[in-house]
Chain A
Amino acid sequence: MANPKSAYSVSTKKEKSDKHIIVVWVDNEAGVLARVVGLFSGRGYNIESLAVAEVDAKKNISRITIVTTGTPQVIDQIKLQLRKLVPVHKVADFKRNDKSVIFKEMALFKVVGNSNKIKKAINACKKYNAVILDKTKKSNVIQITALRREIDKMSKNLKKFGLVSVSRTGAVAMTRGDKVFN
């Protein structure tokens, strides 16, 4: 081989990277998010989006949803390393194209312009559960819930209707049917 790799090299056999959604149930205590995020940055894994909030106030449990990409080996490492953290209770992993899981993101769009433009903007948003949260003569704040690529598309399309500001969350996930991940 022309360029010998070595000691520090990884396999040259490149595995395919896939998008995964990792869900982590953790004790809601100070620094827990830093532990999870620090694990990702420290070991060179990437975070595409992140959503975190307490889901059980009594048991003090937060649910962290992380969208990441990696080879099967990297995804395995992410899960195993996360499980080693003391405040982590359980870790679930879904492939992005898993049909048995629902993924949703939310976005807020502020559109400024004449009523015609605003109307067009609202119309364009309709198929994504659009809700008008704020309304003035010159502006509207529209909330939509959709998939990441749909929101990507909308933030591009609404530009021509006077989109001035976008705020969006990371993805959250839940399995379909009556099954609960344990």
Chain B
Amino acid sequence: MSKLYSGAEVVFKCLEDQDVEFIFGYPGGAVLPIYDELKNHSSIKHILVRHEQGAGHAAEGYARSSGKPGVVLVTSGPGATNVVTALTDAYMDSVPLVCISGQVPTHLIGTDAFQECDTTGITRPCTKHNWLVKDIKDLSKIIHEAFKVATTGRPGPVLVDIPKDIQFAKISYSKPKIQKKLNGKSLNIFSQKDIDYLIDLMNKSKKPIFYSGGGVINSGPEASESLRELVQLTGFPITSTLQGLGAYPGDDNQFLGMLGMHGTYEANNAMHDCDLLINIGARFDDRITGKIDEFSPNSKKVHIDIDPSSINKIIKVDLALVGDVNDVLKGIIKTLKSKKINLNKSNKQKISKWWEQIQKWRTKNSLNFKNSDENIKPQHAVQRLYELTKDKDTFITTEVGQHQMWAAQHYKFNKPNRWMTSGGLGTMGYGLPAAVGVQIAHPKKLVIDIAGEASVLMTMQEMSTAVQYNLPIKIFILNNQYMGMVRQWQELLHEKNYSESYSEALPDFIKLAEAYGCKGIMADKPSELEEKIKEMLQFDGPVIFDCRVDPNENCFPMIPSGKPHNQMILGPSEKEENKITGKGKALV
């Protein structure tokens, strides 16, 4: 007879066979057998967080920066409910997570037992799939299936709920047959005919644009290489969503910057005026499209996405190529090359007027801001941070709000997987724990959380995690004492009634840093900024940097709600003429 293992041992056997190196978790009554087993598995390191939400976001940061699934381990009841925000965040942004939760013993399920909750019920709408293991015989099959579901197709979070008695029960274990990694290739349902049609459209187009998204990142680093090759082959302009930043080099001339609500003037106008729009791994999110009726009204639209349900969900397209981004891009490049179509040359004439137009838009310099000698402007702070860190292979995470948009606008990314931000769900408090996860995956690299003072306080407790594991993360807080984006919307929509958006009694961040056992730095004059940033970068250990910025600065350019792409507000002076009225006010 083969050796019998406990359920807890089977969990680790599975994790080992899935090449898991790190678990982000927090112990509790219903997962104690699994924690007890931890000591016997030296290849797996457990990272103890301070709150289960932090475990989820750390695993997201780990997954996004490494391309491997993040693993979370939490207890039943509050452990599971605390991780729900992170699961929802991962679901919205397509991040592969495997969450293992403890559950009360099977005979107590449904009795309102201590720390019992309907975990699979609660997490059903925020996971790709979840399982309640009711029989030890199913355990290993379910865990391996969970990894498969999380990582194939459009990635996302999954949850396996394991009752305590199952963790104790005994069963034999055999290694799963190694399946050839599909990486969603089974989902490729595009044909050569589609590619030929696309190339025909590209050939005819006078005003083309690529619009790339997080799908390029999720498809792996090779997809970014393919994207670069395709963009260079065609000579077309390219813009990117928030999640897609880094897939194409941010400082390249063909790159128009980010598009959407806080995107650049040139990117949004090009989207509006183009005659061919090629969406690569993005999902026509409402932050991107603005007013749907007037979204890119005169263009043929092409959509490349691995998720068939993304096609025609928001915007009807003329051609859909459902498949893994890299496979589709390679198919296009191969065809272009085999047909010896050099769009860059043949099209140059045709699209030269388009580029002239784009240059005109560019001269608006829409990311410009009035710098000051007295106050640190937040945009200036991000720009300085970029200049001082661009030669290093830097990983940036953010929280959510104005600072996030300034980071996206002013920090230029040249590689994929270097930019971790909560886009779909917009989770304040994402950045700090995500930075913890990123630093775990890349111990030697520079990891900076560009934060806001309000967001960062939501998960500040994870500084303790960073100190425990000697993670030298840098928390760069653009401190304007406001929930800045809330204040900006109140200014634009609610007659400057800054209801509850001012943070009184903020902590002294230097003392807070010291209390956690890390370094605190404060800067409030533009003249000292550079020197202080250098001090932060030179310090080998976690740092909280309190960058006191102009509290009244707003994030521009902006497409006000209710307006199409070509009606942007460029700066504070323009606000009056472009007031948001009527129904636009009701929208977020």
Which chain A residues have a beta carbon within 8 Å of chain B's beta carbons?
2-13, 30-31, 34-35, 38, 42, 73, 76-77, 80-81, 83-86
Residue B583 at the A interface, CB < 8 A? yes
5 A-B pairs within 8 Å (CB atoms) are namely A4-B583, A5-B584, A7-B287, A11-B292, A84-B128
B122-162, CB < 8 A from A:
124-125, 128-129, 132, 134, 149
CB-defined interface of B306-329 with A at 8 Å, one 1/0 digit per residue? 011101110010000000000000
Q: Decide: B307 and A4 in contact? CB cutoff 8 A.
A: no
Q: Does B581 contact A (CB under 8 A)?
A: yes
Chain A residues near B313 (CB, 8 Å)? 73, 77
Measured between beta carbons, the chain B residues less than 8 angstroms from A80 are 308-309, 311
A7 vs B563: C-alpha distance when bound (angstroms) = 8
Closest Cβ–Cβ distance, residue B546 to chain A (whole Å): 33
Give bound CA distance, A160 to B557, whole Å.
Answer: 69
Q: Quick one: CB contact mask for B104-135 with A, threshold 8 Å, 1 for yes?
A: 00000000000000001100110011001010
> In the complex, which residues of chain B have a beta carbon less than 8 angstroms from the beta carbon of A84?
128, 307, 309
Chain A CB within 8 A of B291 CB:
yes
Is A13 in contact with B291, judged by CB distance below 8 angstroms? Answer: no
Query: Which residues does chain A contribute within 8 Å of B1, judged by CB atoms?
Result: none
CB within 8 A of B292: which of A10, A34, A83? A10
Task: Select A4's contact among B125, B129, B563, beta carbons within 8 Å.
Answer: B563
C-alpha spacing A10/B588, complex, angstroms: 14
Chain A residues, CB < 8 A from B184: none
Out of A3, A31, A77, which one reaches B124, CB within 8 Å? A31
A25 to B7, CA, bound (A): 32
In this complex, the member of A3, A9, A34, A77 whose beta carbon has the largest number of chain B beta carbons within 10 angstroms is A9
Assuming A2-B582, A73-B312, is B307 touching A7 (CB within 8 A)? no
A7-B583 contact, Cβ under 8 Å, with A30-B132, A34-B121: no
Residues in A whose Cβ lies below 8 Å from that of B129: 85-86
Contact B308 A83 (CB under 8 A): yes
Asked if B454 CB lies within 8 Å of chain A CBs, one says: no
- Are the C-beta atoms of A4 and B291 separated by less than 8 Å? yes
**Chain B residues at the A interface, C-beta cutoff of 8 Å:** 120-121, 124-125, 128-129, 132, 134, 149, 261, 286-287, 289-293, 307-309, 311-313, 316, 561-563, 580-584, 587-588
Please determine whether B293 and A86 come into contact, CB atoms closer than 8 angstroms. no
Alpha-carbon separation in the docked complex, A31 to B291 (Å)? 38
Nearest residue, chain B, Cβ from A35: B124
> What residues of chain B lie closer than 8 Å to A76, measured between beta carbons?
312
Residues of B within 8 A of A13 (CB): 293
B584 near A4: Cβ-Cβ < 8 Å: yes
Q: Judging by beta carbons under 8 Å apart, are B582 and A3 in contact?
A: yes
Contact A7–B286 (Cβ < 8 Å): yes
Contacts of A7 in B (CB 8 A): 261, 286-287, 289-291, 561-562, 587-588
Please report the C-alpha to C-alpha distance between residue A31 and residue B290 in the assembled complex, in whole angstroms.
37
Q: Is A6 a contact partner of B562 (Cβ separation < 8 A)?
A: yes
Q: Is the CB of A5 within 8 A of B309?
A: no
Query: Which of A12, A35, A81 makes the CB contact (< 8 A) with B309?
Result: A81
Interfacial chain A residues near B125, Cβ < 8 Å:
38, 42
Contact of B583 among A6, A34, A73, A85 (CB under 8 A): A6
Query: Which of B134, B291, B307 sits near A6, CB closer than 8 Å?
Result: B291
For the complex, what is the distance from the CA of A4 to the CA of B311, rounded to whole Å? 26
Q: How far is the CB of A39 from chain B (nearest CB, A)?
A: 8
Task: Specify which chain B residues have a CB less than 8 angstroms from the CB of A34 in the assembled complex.
Answer: 121, 124
Interchain nearest-CB distance for B451 vs A (Å): 25
A2 surroundings in chain B (CB, below 8 A): 582
Contacts of A30 in B (CB 8 A): 132, 134
Within the assembled complex, what's the spacing in Å between the Cα atoms of A83 and B583? Answer: 35
Q: How far, in angstroms, from A104 to B267 measured CA to CA in the complex? A: 54
- Nearest CB on B from A166, distance (A): 32
List residues of chain A with CB within 8 A of the CB of B309. Answer: 77, 80-81, 83-84
Q: Is the CB of B583 within 8 A of A5?
A: yes
Q: Please name all residues of chain A whose beta carbon is closer than 8 Å to the beta carbon of B563 when the two chains form the complex.
A: 4, 6
Q: Which residues of B contact A9 (CB under 8 A)?
A: 291-293, 562, 583, 587
For the complex of A and B, the 10 pairs showing the least CB-CB separation, nearest first, are A4-B562, A80-B309, A6-B562, A6-B561, A86-B129, A3-B582, A7-B286, A3-B583, A6-B587, A8-B587
Instruction: Tell me the complex Cα distance, A83–B307, Å.
Output: 11
Across-interface contacts of B583 in A (CB, < 8 A)? 3-6, 9
The distance from the CB of B247 to the nearest CB of chain A, in whole angstroms, is 24
CA distance A50 to B582 in the complex (A): 40
Please tell me which one of the listed residues B149, B292, B307, B311 contacts residue A5 in the complex, with CB atoms under 8 A apart. Answer: B292
Residues of A near B120 (CB, < 8 A) are 31
User: Contact: B124 with A5, CB < 8 Å?
Assistant: no
Please name 5 further chain A to chain B contacts, defined as beta carbons within 8 Å, in addition to the given A4-B291, A6-B563, A77-B313, sorted by A numbering.
A4-B584, A5-B583, A6-B290, A8-B588, A9-B292
Give CA–CA (A13, B290) in the complex, Å. Answer: 16
Tell whether, in the assembled complex, residue A8 and residue B308 are in contact, meaning their CB atoms are under 8 Å apart.
Answer: no
Distance, CA A179 to CA B530, complexed state (A): 74
**In whole Å, how far is B182's beta carbon from the nearest beta carbon of chain A?**
15
Q: Would B588 and A5 count as touching, CB distance under 8 A?
A: no
Taking a contact as CB atoms under 8 Å apart, the answer to whether B581 and A4 are in contact is yes
Take A76-B312, A81-B309, A84-B309 as given contacts and tell me if A5 and B121 are in contact as well, using a CB distance cutoff of 8 Å. Answer: no
| Smallest Cβ-Cβ distance to A34: which chain B residue | B124
The CA-CA distance from A94 to B129 in the complex, in Å, is 27
Q: Are B132 and A5 in contact (CB under 8 A)?
A: no
- In whole angstroms, what is the CA distance A77 to B238 when docked? 29
Query: Chain B nearest CB: distance from A86 CB in Å?
Result: 4
Distance (whole angstroms) from the CB of B152 to the closest CB of chain A: 11
Q: How far is the CA of A172 from the CA of B223 in the complex (A)?
A: 46
Given contacts A30-B132, A38-B125, A86-B149, contact A5 B291 (CB under 8 A): yes
Q: Identify which of B132, B149, B291 gathers the most chain A CB atoms within 10 Å of its CB.
A: B291
List chain B residues, Cβ under 8 A from A77: 309, 313
A75 vs chain B, min Cβ distance (A):
11
How many angstroms from the CA of A10 to the CA of B290 in the assembled complex?
10
Chain A: minimal CB distance from B460 (Å): 31
Measured between C-beta atoms, what is the minimum distance from A1 to chain B in Å?
A: 9
A168 to B40, CA, bound (A): 58
Give chain B residues whose Cβ lies under 8 Å from the Cβ of A86. 128-129, 149
CA distance A11 to B567 in the complex (A): 18
Complex Cα distance A7/B290, Å? 4
**Shortest beta-carbon distance, B269 to chain A, in Å?**
18
In the bound complex, how far is the Cα of B584 from the Cα of A3, in angstroms?
7
- Closest residue to A4 on the B side, CB-wise? B562
B132 CB to nearest A CB, Å: 7
> In the docked arrangement, what's the CA distance between A10 and B291, Å?
8
**How far does the Cβ of A83 sit from chain B's closest Cβ, in whole Å?**
7
How far in angstroms is the closest Cβ of chain A from B97? 16
Considering the complex, give the chain B residue whose CB is closest to the CB of A81.
Answer: B309
| Bound-complex Cα distance A30 to B77 (A) | 20
